[in-house]
Amino acid sequence: MNKMEQDQSARGALLALCAYLLWGLAPVYFKQLLDVPAPEILAHRVVWSILLLLGLITALGYWTRVRALLRQPRLLLLLLISSVVIGTNWLVFIWAVNNNHILDASLGYYINPLLNIVLGMVFLQERYRPLQWLAVGLAALGVLIQLLVFGSLPWVALVLALSFGTYGLIRKQVPVDPFTGLLLETSVLLIPAVLWLWGLNSATGNLSANSTSLNLLLLAAGLITTIPLLLFAGAARRLQLSTLGFFQYLAPSLALLLGVLVYEEAFTTDKAITFALIWIALIVYSLDGIRQRRRIKHAIKQS
């Protein structure tokens, strides 16, 4: 690797670190809006994200991409579906944070990369190695034990993992940059958001009646949505996908620490067992990935 590639990798690592730090610290932001219902926060998130994205699309000169996308009905249909999926993900995450289920939300994003294996097999006919299936089996065992032994289903974790995994699967089929795609997705959610905030006379829809601090928090919803995405997009251009994958565990780890140490959520026995099995599964999954990359590098050298 030459110096230029090293510099690019270093910048990519810094961008990825910042992106996942912001995603991991997102509960701190949503906790400041405890008095605002989750659907209302989501509506503000959609409205202010669109305004910010419109500015970014203009600054980046991406309007030709937007117009090209509008001429492709199949891709628009996929983005319509992905908008519903990501909207569900956002809504459940906000509800979870503000109803003391940060640990469940964290668990969902730990499960996500393992669920991606199953989605890849079912929908993309991808084949996986035995250790990857072992990792999936351990994760499933963790959820099953919580259901059968303790009688509780981590529905928040499962909905977040399934919705985000489905979102990734759909976006994999749509060859569009993150900002153009997100603009179209949030545009689909704009009408329901506007109806919620102003058609139903929501408590926070009238900005002139809100305190300055509340308005600033609500307006910041656009930044909370878009800035990590911008950082992630920059990191993705500079890092290998395998390297980027190691950063994905930072966000749920931060959320876990926040839930236990800051917001004092109970780390009960059922959660401890489930988390332990998920962590073991992720270790197996990561070690298998490292071993596979070494094999590929060795094969390339031998050829």
Please report the DSSP string for 49-67 in residue order. HHHHHHHHHHHHT-HHHHH
Per-residue pLDDT of 211-244, as tens digits, reads: 999 999 999 998 998 888 888 877 877 776 556 6
Per-residue pLDDT of 276-292, as tens digits, reads: 888 898 888 888 877 87
**Mean local confidence (pLDDT), 261-273:** 89
Collapsing DSSP to helix, strand or coil, 203 comes out as: coil
Beta strands in the chain (DSSP E): none
CA dihedral 42, 254, 104, 102 (to 10 degrees): -50
Asked if 219 and 33 count as a contact pair (C-beta separation under 8 A), the reply is: no
Per-residue pLDDT of 20-67, as tens digits, reads: 899 999 999 999 999 999 999 999 999 999 999 999 999 989 999 999
Asked if 221 and 38 count as a contact pair (C-beta separation under 8 A), the reply is: no
**pLDDT of 37:** 92
Q: What is the pTM of this model?
A: 0.87
Confidence of residue 119 (pLDDT cuts 50, 70, 90): confident
| The two three-digit tokens of residue 75, written as one number | 């891709």
CA proximity to 231, closest of 47, 17, 43: 17
Per-residue pLDDT of 69-118, as tens digits, reads: 999 999 999 999 999 999 999 999 999 999 999 999 999 988 888 888 78
Per-residue pLDDT of 124-161, as tens digits, reads: 777 778 888 888 888 888 888 877 776 778 899 999 99
Asked if 16 and 247 count as a contact pair (C-beta separation under 8 A), the reply is: yes
